[in-house]
Structure 1
Amino acid sequence: MSQTRTTRPPQPTTAALAEFASRLTTRQLDDVERREAARHLVDTLGACVAGAGQPVWRSAAGVLRELDLVGAARPVPIPGTTERGDVLHAAYLMAVACHALELDDGNREGSIHPGTVVVPAALALGHRLDSDGDDLIAAVVAGYEVAIALAEVLHPHAARRGFQTTPVAGVIGAAAACGRLLGLAPAEMESALGIAASSSAGLFAYLAGGGNIKKLHPAHAAREGVFAALLAAEGGVQGPRGVAEGPAGVFQAFAGLAGGPPAEPRRNALAVVRSYLKPYPACRHIHPAIDALLALRGEHGIDPAQVASINVGTYEAAMPHAALGWDTLPIAQLSFPYVVAVALQYGAVALPHFSDETRARPEIAALAAKVSVHADPVCCAAYPAHGPADVTIVMADGTRHQRYVAEPLGSPDLALSDAQLLEKFSISVAGLPRAADAGRMAAGLLGGAAPGVRALVHELLA
């Protein structure tokens, strides 16, 4: 255990968060906190490499290339590719890649994907600054803390108004991470958070069509978070103080909380410790149902062809995913019927199961048609403290198999092992020319090593 932290913010107010982010060092992190920061960094790096080159990434990169914002003369290399960008658009493309395949981490209480915003912003600016590994870890922890503390107040109120918390709060977390790399003083950090808040955005409208725009939400946030921190460091632009809790601030504008955050004590553990890692490339809301289905399939030797119905009880926040189709990969990864059918048919949920060929298979469509999803009172009462699902499979002969899952795999209390995390990372970076070196680098990070940002990125280039 290292030195005691004295600056943990007692409430998610702007000044307290700015003070925390500005003054945090790795010497203030205990072994668990530093280890979890490293685990989330490794996981996000793998997601960044895996997602680079996906169709939505190619589209964004193509536009930026035409605008001369990406090219060989640019300073910041982009993991998983041979591309380079300026600091803002390198962060942008890294964030698109991180979120492209639904592999990235998250925090349930805030319903936010922090890594896909915070880590790309810190990597891009850290490469420009030649930041060392300790500063990168501290920046990641600071960014997660700010983004998640705000998201935990916003959720579920912002979602009910149509806003996605990842870009709304994530841009402020990205600014915090970058402000920490720039060495901003607390007042400058609060200005950076205030500047970033004016770029908060992101609508849930993609659930009704245009699903791949979701992949750009973290990218917008990462880019604008970097820019906000740089503006604050330069000093000519001042962000408003108290931008989270003040009049017309983030809590009021996005969540309708005119009086600021509810008067609740903050959780003791840092946000990065309270966050999850994904074992499956699908929306996290579906993961507890996946765990239940895989357990039932294994225990009872269920033949998918003999299934009459699959009933899934979930919580209200997951219901927008209850009846989504699967005509595209991005929407299929968010679709309860499709992912449930895949889990039962194949006994696994992996990236190949979202291919065009698999999505067109009639046996998947037949199983998906047997899936019904409803808001279960017990699950609703448990969320967001827990992320449950109650799954019942009825067979053609009337036999019923039921399983309640209180917490999905990858949650802090049901964590992926280091071996599982490194296996996920290895699969994600398998196409790199230095994949073995990248794997050793990842293992070293989990063991406490802290390579500088430039050395770290170098191992991840195509």
Structure 2
Amino acid sequence: MAGTQLKAAEFIHGLKSTDLPPAVLHMARRCLVDTIAIWVAGMETDTSRIARDHAVRRYGGALAMPFDGRLVNPVGFAFAGAATIDAIDGHDGHQSCKGHASVALVPTVLAELGADPAGDLDDLLTHLVVGHEIAIRSALSLHATVPDYHSSGAWNALGCAAIAARLRGLGHDGTRHALGIAEYYGPRAQMMRCIDHPSMVKDSSAWGALTGVSAADLAEDGFTGAPAITCEAPEVAEIWADLGHRWRILESNFKAYPICRWGQPPVEAVLTLMQDHEVAFEDVTEILVTTFHEATRLASRRPADGDTAQYSLPLAVALALRHATILPDHLLPGCYDQPEIWKLVDQVCFAESDDYNAAFPDERFADVTLSMRDGRRLVSEAAVARGNFDAPLADAELVAKLDHYGTARLSTEARQQIASILSGGAPAPSLRDLIACLHPQAS
């Protein structure tokens, strides 16, 4: 077995919660709470409804889907969960990976733990850390060795396979095959195609989760798939050399708004100008957004549905000017299909900055110039998205996000229980209590 892959397999099966620094365990708690908040919000989307119906038809089993109750197998559970989370573009991510891990990993952990899970919350968090460390390094390796920009499912599939292999006790050889299958069958979708033509396929994380769990199924049955070259190729050995010592999960970012992260720096620039100059949206005559090339591709000006709306930078800026924030409800056609919103959308124009292009993907910059009816030109400083790993959203902001996004399907008591995972106030829920929170009709 290749040395890098032997190290990965030993890490996957050997990591214990007591091995994790407190900051790493706490970051896993943040990822879990934030992902649950997005999961609840995603339940209101057509994407989620279609994915859950599909899972029931094609992947029947004995696991009840969260907030739904219908029974599916682990593959269907992971697929439908990831599709639901991916339907609201507000989940955590990793800047250098240009994508997302928890969206696929959290449903996979819950799918593999089953309806009556053993262990405690720290065990769940440790499984989640394993998935993150494998997925993020797989992403960095993929980006370093291929020219195309692939969607998250291409690499979070390996994190899902790692979690499933760990929980099933597949051993080193079985784990190596599971990772190899997940990489080979992973959805290497061209991400910019979905940026140019937004749709329900999003970041392919639903298929990443499906692929990762299916890969473990196949490996468990003796199907072979090694090697995973994103783990084993000599040219990526350095990326894997610090596995178990450098905790990549600590580089996670969190979103202040449920839109593509590339559209968030101009939103922050607009909100700063509004606060500093008491801008009234009715007085704006032109909005110049200067940013990096990829963000200018978020160019839809008349999105017809929520999926397209989340990838529309002109709409994001218009919503920020109109509402001084962006919430999931704002991205529903019934909320944004208004003359005053379209007027602002049509005032948005783009410019690219060589400096901002050079900084991407490790950082996303934008600045905004507002031309006003009275002749003023209000120019922002360069802005970044709030919630980057080096300037994180506070735990209280993630709890507020849970409250904003979770009201429709989580009781006050359930939200308080989930929030206690972060707050340190009331005792955090047991693993079984957490599962019960996700099945309110059954509890």
TM-score normalised by the chain length of structure 1: 0.86
Q: C-alpha deviations, 1:53-77, integer Å up to 9, x for none? A: 421111222233344x34xxx4222
> Counterpart in 2 of 1:460?
438
Matched, 1:228 2:215: yes
Equivalent of residue 261 in structure 1, options 226, 236, 244: 236
Whole-Å separation in 2 of the counterparts to 1:302 and 1:339 = 17
Counterpart of 1:32 in 2: which secondary structure? Answer: helix
Question: Which residues of structure 2 form unaligned runs of 5+?
Answer: none
Identify the range of structure 1 (388-397 vs 434-443) with the bigger mean alpha-carbon deviation: 434-443
Whole-Å separation in 1 of the counterparts to 2:266 and 2:412 = 33
> Counterpart in 2 of 1:251?
none
| Contact map agreement 1:101 1:281 (CA 8 A) in 2 | yes
433 and 266 in structure 1: CA distance in 2 versus 1, 3 angstrom threshold: closer
Equivalent of residue 268 in structure 2, options 280, 291, 296: 291
> Counterpart in 1 of 2:201?
213
Q: CA RMSD in A?
A: 2.6
> Counterpart in 2 of 1:359?
336
1:433 CA displacement: 5.7
Matched, 1:178 2:164: yes
> Counterpart in 2 of 1:27?
18
| Contact map agreement 2:328 2:405 (CA 8 A) in 1 | no
| Contact map agreement 2:198 2:311 (CA 8 A) in 1 | no
Equivalent of residue 355 in structure 2, options 362, 378, 381: 378
Whole-Å separation in 1 of the counterparts to 2:422 and 2:276 = 37
Q: Tell me the amino acid that sits aligned with residue 209 of structure 1.
A: H
Matched, 1:148 2:136: yes
Matched, 1:79 2:73: no
| Contact map agreement 1:432 1:461 (CA 8 A) in 2 | no
> Counterpart in 1 of 2:364?
387
Matched, 1:421 2:398: yes
> Counterpart in 2 of 1:117?
104
425 and 59 in structure 1: CA distance in 2 versus 1, 3 angstrom threshold: same
> Counterpart in 2 of 1:197?
183
1:235 CA displacement: 5.2
Q: C-alpha deviations, 1:93-114, integer Å up to 9, x for none? A: 1111111111211111101111
> Counterpart in 1 of 2:230?
244
1:264-279 aligned at under 5 Å gives the runs: 269-279=246-256
> Counterpart in 2 of 1:412?
389
Q: C-alpha deviations, 1:177-210, integer Å up to 9, x for none? A: 2222223433332221111112211333333436
Whole-Å separation in 2 of the counterparts to 1:387 and 1:262 = 28
Identify the range of structure 1 (184-193 vs 92-101) with the bigger mean alpha-carbon deviation: 184-193
Whole-Å separation in 1 of the counterparts to 2:381 and 2:63 = 47
> Counterpart in 2 of 1:45?
36
66 and 385 in structure 1: CA distance in 2 versus 1, 3 angstrom threshold: closer
1:118 CA displacement: 0.8
Identify the range of structure 1 (343-352 vs 31-40) with the bigger mean alpha-carbon deviation: 343-352
Whole-Å separation in 1 of the counterparts to 2:62 and 2:422 = 25
| Contact map agreement 1:105 1:115 (CA 8 A) in 2 | yes
298 and 29 in structure 1: CA distance in 2 versus 1, 3 angstrom threshold: same
Counterpart of 2:407 in 1: which secondary structure? Answer: coil
Q: Tell me the amino acid that sits aligned with residue 137 of structure 1.
A: L
42 and 56 in structure 1: CA distance in 2 versus 1, 3 angstrom threshold: same
Whole-Å separation in 1 of the counterparts to 2:109 and 2:258 = 24
> Counterpart in 2 of 1:3?
none
Whole-Å separation in 1 of the counterparts to 2:221 and 2:323 = 56
Whole-Å separation in 1 of the counterparts to 2:96 and 2:141 = 9
1:458 CA displacement: 1.1
> Counterpart in 2 of 1:9?
none
Whole-Å separation in 2 of the counterparts to 1:337 and 1:275 = 26
| Contact map agreement 2:266 2:383 (CA 8 A) in 1 | no
> Counterpart in 1 of 2:9?
18
Matched, 1:63 2:54: yes
Matched, 1:402 2:400: no
Whole-Å separation in 2 of the counterparts to 1:401 and 1:381 = 25
1:453 CA displacement: 4.2
| Contact map agreement 2:141 2:230 (CA 8 A) in 1 | no
Counterpart of 1:214 in 2: which secondary structure? Answer: coil
Whole-Å separation in 2 of the counterparts to 1:332 and 1:218 = 19
> Counterpart in 2 of 1:105?
92
| Contact map agreement 2:183 2:228 (CA 8 A) in 1 | no
| Contact map agreement 1:276 1:410 (CA 8 A) in 2 | yes
TM-score normalised by the chain length of structure 2: 0.89
| Contact map agreement 2:231 2:237 (CA 8 A) in 1 | no
210 and 24 in structure 1: CA distance in 2 versus 1, 3 angstrom threshold: same
Q: C-alpha deviations, 1:390-420, integer Å up to 9, x for none? A: 2222223332222234532111122111111
Identify the range of structure 1 (450-459 vs 95-104) with the bigger mean alpha-carbon deviation: 450-459
Whole-Å separation in 2 of the counterparts to 1:97 and 1:352 = 16
1:374 CA displacement: 2.7
433 and 309 in structure 1: CA distance in 2 versus 1, 3 angstrom threshold: closer
Q: C-alpha deviations, 1:217-275, integer Å up to 9, x for none? A: 2111112211222333x25122212431567xxxxxxxxxxx74396786974121101
Q: Quick one: percent identity of the two aligned structures?
A: 28
Counterpart of 1:321 in 2: which secondary structure? Answer: coil
Q: Number of residues paired by the alignment?
A: 432
